Structure 1
Amino acid sequence: MIALAMFVIALALLLSGIPVAFVFGGVALLFALLIPELGLQVFSLLPFRIYGIMGNTTLMAVPLFIAMGLILEKSKMAEKLLETMSGLFGGLRGGLAVSVVLVGTILAASTGIVSASVVMMSIIALPLMLGAGYDKGLASGTVAASGTLGQIIPPSIILIILGDVMNVSVGELFMGAVLPGLVLVGLYIVYILLYAALKPKAAPAAARGEHVGIIKALTAIAPPLLLMVAVLGSIFAGIASPTESAAFGVVGALALSAFNRTLSYAMVSYALLETVKLSGMIFMILIGATAFSLVFNELGGSDLVLEFFSHDIGNVWVFIGVAMLAIFILGFFIDFIEISFIVVPILVPVMHAFGIDPVWFAILIALNLQASFLTPPFGLALFFLKGAAGSMVTTLQIYRGIIPFILLQLLAIGIVILFPDLVFALI
């Protein structure tokens, strides 16, 4: 019960807005000092764990993929893609929103960084949709949902973190996430087309502008697609590890930026500095979470959870339901990184006890964590969207527009639960 109190106190401090790494490390230190049986000697293994984190080749892919995404963010790729896609689909009722989803999918497979994708789409796509007469709720919901596809479509930072936390091959997670991610994209597109058919004034066909020729379309679409194929294809074919592919992706992003004539010292400097900041934040949280887990496990916290689910309940579907509900609710308030480093390790022993496939379970968690980015009132994607959109849309309009996409997200989780072969088809 002391372990349970430790978890509750950490959660309460997270909700109060204290920096995450300090919450985890501080709570661990507090309980180690308060419990005489533990003392500071419980941290004797911490330096070895930190050294293991520093030398973890899987986690080395995180800063590389972040750098790749930040370089692509400044390469004007999104603008070219959206201009081309809107020309191809804009004449269709709801076609502009469909083009936003498709561009979001390509950006997700190219960058994997949700914040960059949502901000880019908010600045570029939202004014275009509102100018075409789209309902503000549908427009903002489409932008937010499309921008968060980087959570599930590889190369995804969350999949790399889950692979390390759950001791699963990141390459298998990337392959397993492809079809569920495309199912989610398909659900978004079907919803938009049905919405446009039922409410034509909410998603009108754009006025026919300049005709987009095949050459122009290929010029905009081919470079990011080639980068996607090179990075993901090398992983899927077993030619390179995720870390090696991430390094190649950085080189490819620089080449793509040079192709678009946006490569400059200022841009590279910005990308590298932001990569250091984001990576430092992630690894500081990981070190704090490691200290927390040392004390939590010494207090018997993981044993308590394992006994509760495997003996007191003993039903695998109850465990899956409770785990998904807990992650979904926690996603209202805390970030996916905290959930990955604190909640997921508690669930892993129970997962193994029930014989649940870790790749399938990791994809369910990733889909669930993506929903947490969209869920009011604290969904990070909604904050990014509102901050970038300014007065173009109200917070209430954003909330109204995002609810159908959250329901589609939950439907996608249900589909993956009912049809697990979607995860294993490419592995």
Structure 2
Amino acid sequence: MQFLIEHIDIVMFAVTIAMLIRGYPVAFTLAGVGLGFALIGAWLEVGYFASGDLSFLKPFYSRVYGLMDETNEVLVAVPLFIFMGVMLERSQVAGELLETMGRLFGRLPGGLGFAVTFVGMLLAASTGVVGATVVTMGMISLPSMLRYNYAPSLACGSIAASGTLGQIIPPSIVLIILGDAISNEYTEARRNAGDWAPDPVSVGDIFAGAMVPGLMLVGAYLLYQIAIAVFFPSKSPPMDARDADPVTPRMVLRVLVPPVCLIVAVLGSILAGIATPTEAASVGAVGSVLLAGARLEPGRPWPQIAAFSGIVAALILTSGFDLRVSRDVIAPVDRIAIGAAIIACLLIAWGIASSLWRAYQRTEHAGGPSMLSEVMRSTMRVSSMVFIILIGAQLFNLTFRGLGGDETVREILDALPGGPWGAIFAVMLVIFLLGFFLDFLEIVFVVVPITAPIIFSYSNPDGSVMFHPVWVAVMIAMNLQTSFLTPPFGFALFYLRGVTPPEIRTVEIYRGVIPFVFMQLLMLALLAAVPELATWLPTRIFG
């Protein structure tokens, strides 16, 4: 019994993992275990609860308020990006893109595999929602690949791997939440280490850091598809030209240009320093509404075209003229520009209103809820889940530290062979294993606050931080992506299993993803050996 009391922090962590694996609600598990063990700690007078009361939990309110108040704009991007992804998925913009690219590349050997990887990259950059991407690609592409005699294992592996690109290619929900957590823990850890002016880390830095590794991973997937088409052509044959409807350049431009423009607008505004991630998320939400409106009634795109023209005009006017109306003296040219800006805003409002009305009128079946209602409900459901888990995790982490958990974790990591590199390897291994059983939210909100302060406390001889926070964030994101794809517990495999025909055995899905898992492990090793792959682009862009 005395041993359990002395290691009550480890018992607390083990109980939490066991309850999560049993399927109890995450938010209530974290909050309930945190409060329960705080009461136990006060009763036993352990750690910072030695006074016998719960005064150590007083900062809980300020922690939650500090995360949710108006000064923390990063988390506002979460529901906006979720809305963007759900809107594109429900309006079939993603499905139409996948079908058209499949017909475009399908006549080439391995062409359907190329199309799946290419579209997976675009969907990752425009939706950032892994489950929706895997399910959409599985429902649309898998029947076609099987019909044209693709090897079932290769088809399933390509779809599952491409669908998980939303973990690493920005704007990813994982990167947003991970970036916010890493930024907070990095700043606190460096101040505790005596560095009172650490370089700030933003979600934009994390986005830029993930770009190069993410694109390299896409390149590896494409090279693998090419190798299979060359050396094993029977596994990835071309489509029969008689069965494939011709694809005209106009069709390709119609389905490809709008998502690409949306991606450029969202990521480009962040990387160029024009907008914060939250502002870029609002651009993405508005853009997804306009794309959905144009997709729902392709014969009447004029409101959406007018809105797009209004956006371009507003940007030009903002950069070229002084549009402030509160001045005492306004030049005639500026008056004309202000009037033009008002007209541009009216065009934008018209396009958004038209698109929302079309989404409101569209239903999946007679008498069912409108598409807009479903999008709003899905967005609210996922956003609420994220924030309630975040609140529960704050109570859990505070109690864990109050029981001495941070000192225990430091002692364990410091005792490992290999020094700081042995410690970070152990952290990555734990995250990889937990990814089999827990969603990324639990891992980011629970594991990162416990381990990140220790990782960022390691310093070089010159006093600089040993592990760059952007590199750590990208390593964790790619590690989670690998874990979600690894048999037998990868979440992506369960998503895909739900939409595959019964004649495809589960072992074929496992066999198909193994080469992609090895590619991701090699990418992880390369990223560990060359951290500049993650830190070079943020340094070049943001200095």
Partner of 2:513: 402
Q: Structure 1 residue 392: deviation in Å?
A: 5.2
1:425 match: secondary structure: helix
- Structure 1 residues 363-394: Cα deviation after superposition (integer angstroms, max 9, x where no partner): 00000011122122322211111112242522
Correspondence 1:281 to 2:385: yes
Q: Structure 1 residue 248: deviation in Å?
A: 1.1
- 402-411 or 33-42, larger mean C-alpha shift: 33-42
2:498 pairs with 367, 373, 387, which one?
Answer: 387
What aligned pairs does 1:173-252 form with structure 2 within 5 A after superposition? 173-208=206-241, 209-252=244-287
What aligned pairs does 1:24-423 form with structure 2 within 5 A after superposition? 24-36=30-42, 37=45, 38=49, 39-55=53-69, 56-167=72-183, 168-208=201-241, 209-261=244-296, 263-265=358-360, 266-310=370-414, 313=417, 315-354=419-458, 355-391=466-502, 393-423=504-534
Is the 1:310–1:353 contact (alpha carbons within 8 Å) kept by the matching residues of 2? no
Q: In structure 1, give the amino acid aligned to 2:287.
A: G
1:247 match: secondary structure: helix
Ranges in structure 2 where 5+ consecutive residues have no aligned partner: 1-6, 184-200, 298-357, 361-369, 459-465, 539-543
| TM-score (normalizing by structure 1) | 0.96
- Structure 1 residues 136-164: Cα deviation after superposition (integer angstroms, max 9, x where no partner): 11111111111111100000001111111
- 54-63 or 86-95, larger mean C-alpha shift: 86-95
Correspondence 1:23 to 2:29: yes
Q: Distance in 1 between matches of 2:41 and 2:106?
A: 64
Q: CA distance change for structure 1 residues 329 and 218 in 2, over 3 Å: closer, same or farther? A: same
2:73 match: secondary structure: coil
- Structure 1 residues 277-318: Cα deviation after superposition (integer angstroms, max 9, x where no partner): 011111111111110101111112112222333466561221
Q: In structure 1, give the amino acid aligned to 2:111.
A: G
Correspondence 1:7 to 2:23: no
Q: Distance in 2 between matches of 1:307 and 1:373?
A: 29
Q: CA distance change for structure 1 residues 353 and 78 in 2, over 3 Å: closer, same or farther? A: same
Is the 2:416–2:422 contact (alpha carbons within 8 Å) kept by the matching residues of 1? no
Q: Distance in 2 between matches of 1:10 and 1:308?
A: 19
Q: Distance in 2 between matches of 1:418 and 1:287?
A: 36
- Structure 1 residues 145-200: Cα deviation after superposition (integer angstroms, max 9, x where no partner): 11111100000001111111111310011111111001111111111221232322
Is the 1:140–1:393 contact (alpha carbons within 8 Å) kept by the matching residues of 2? no
Q: In structure 1, give the amino acid aligned to 2:423.
A: F
Q: Structure 1 residue 321: deviation in Å?
A: 1.6
**Root mean square deviation of aligned Cα:** 1.6
Give 1 or 2 for the bigger CA radius of gyration.
2
- 10-19 or 258-267, larger mean C-alpha shift: 258-267
Q: In structure 2, give the amino acid aligned to 1:87.
A: R
| TM-score (normalizing by structure 2) | 0.76
Is the 1:231–1:245 contact (alpha carbons within 8 Å) kept by the matching residues of 2? yes
Q: Distance in 2 between matches of 1:50 and 1:353?
A: 24
- Structure 1 residues 235-262: Cα deviation after superposition (integer angstroms, max 9, x where no partner): 0111111011101111000000111126
Task: Report how many aligned residue pairs link the two structures.
Answer: 427
- Structure 1 residues 14-41: Cα deviation after superposition (integer angstroms, max 9, x where no partner): 1111111122111111211112332433
- 383-392 or 62-71, larger mean C-alpha shift: 383-392
State, as a whole percentage, how many aligned pairs show the same letter: 49
